[in-house]
Amino acid sequence: MYADSLKHYSNEAFETNLEEDIPAGPNVTFGLKSFIQTRYSIVSAQLEGTDLLPQVAINEFMASNATAFADESGDYDDWIELANPNYEDVDISGWYISDDLEDATKFEIPEGTVVPAEGFLILWADKDENQGALHLNFKLDADGEAVILIHPDGIGTADSVSFGLQVTDVSEGRIPDYFGEWRNLEVYTPGTFNDPTVNLSDKPLPRTFTLAVYPNPFNPITTLGYTLPENSLVTITIYNILGKEVKTLINQTQYTGYKSVIWNATNDYGKPVSAGIYLCQIQAGEYISTKKMVLLK
């Protein structure tokens, strides 16, 4: 700025204007500081009484899944990945997701659904709600359509994507994650960060360890979804509120990526457990995470 020989003001005027307004005939050249303060006051007044909702993005989807990625029942259904760029978990209970612009509240996301901090959540677009809480009441059209994520009570669009003809077993994802442009991904990456540099000979690795329980509260079945950043010996154990072990769901070595397991509220002997608060603990290598669950009856 100081070297600019064509500027219409002096160096002194520029330095003054950083802090102070400068009269310019009938007008005023607002100082940088006063402009920001004034703008902040105006926007704050407009937002007064408004609850700002955290950002959750549609981050990846596959509309033609033949052999790529199976759900907890072993079915190859279409899927949608939601991503949370926030440093805290985001509860998306009561949000809506749809494939129809004229019916944007087609599927209401069930109570207790959480997208982990800086993590991901997979929704299965299989039109089979009987398979679990996150199995949607619509399928994706491989010939092209839209996916819309709506805030609670239908108050506004959180995110959306329109797409054309899809290739079987090829996903589309945002590059970079959360807010980037949509691109075909040679290697699909459900439950982890999108990486356009990997190819079919590489194994895309999750960069975070996440655990989500949905629905929560539940009766009597809930799904534990988790993402492994590396191949690990995985142990998933259910405890009651007193710390007594109730059931071991997983105790085996698993490969990196998104996994899920269902708990039907029974103990190690197959007997139903009573209503109350339970703790789910997952240990995978050096990673340990615990979530509170509420069983209703």
The predicted-structure confidence for 6-26, as pLDDT tens digits, reads as follows 888 888 888 888 888 887 777
The range of the structural domain enclosing residue 16 comes to 11-47
Is 166 contained in some domain?
Answer: yes
Mean pLDDT of the chain: 85
Is 40 contained in some domain?
Answer: yes
Is 5 contained in some domain?
Answer: no
Domain shared by 72 and 159, yes or no = yes
This prediction's pTM: 0.57
Say which residue the tokens 């899944």 belong to. 65
Distances (CA, A) of 150 to 24, 140, 284: 47, 17, 34
Higher pLDDT, 40 or 265: 265
Is 2 contained in some domain?
Answer: no
What region, left, alpha or beta, does residue 129 occupy, with left being phi > 0 and alpha being psi -120 to 50 degrees?
A: alpha
d(CA 143, CA 7): 55
Q: Which two tokens stand for residue 1?
A: 């700025």
At residue 206, does pLDDT exceed 60?
no
Domain shared by 31 and 62, yes or no = no
Q: How many domains does the chain have?
A: 3
Distances (CA, A) of 34 to 17, 19, 23, 30, 256: 9, 7, 14, 7, 52
Domain shared by 80 and 149, yes or no = yes
**139, 126 in Cβ contact below 8 A?**
yes
Domain shared by 174 and 242, yes or no = no
Q: What is the pLDDT of residues 85-144, one digit of tens each?
A: 888 889 999 999 999 988 989 999 999 899 988 888 999 999 998 888 899 999 999 999
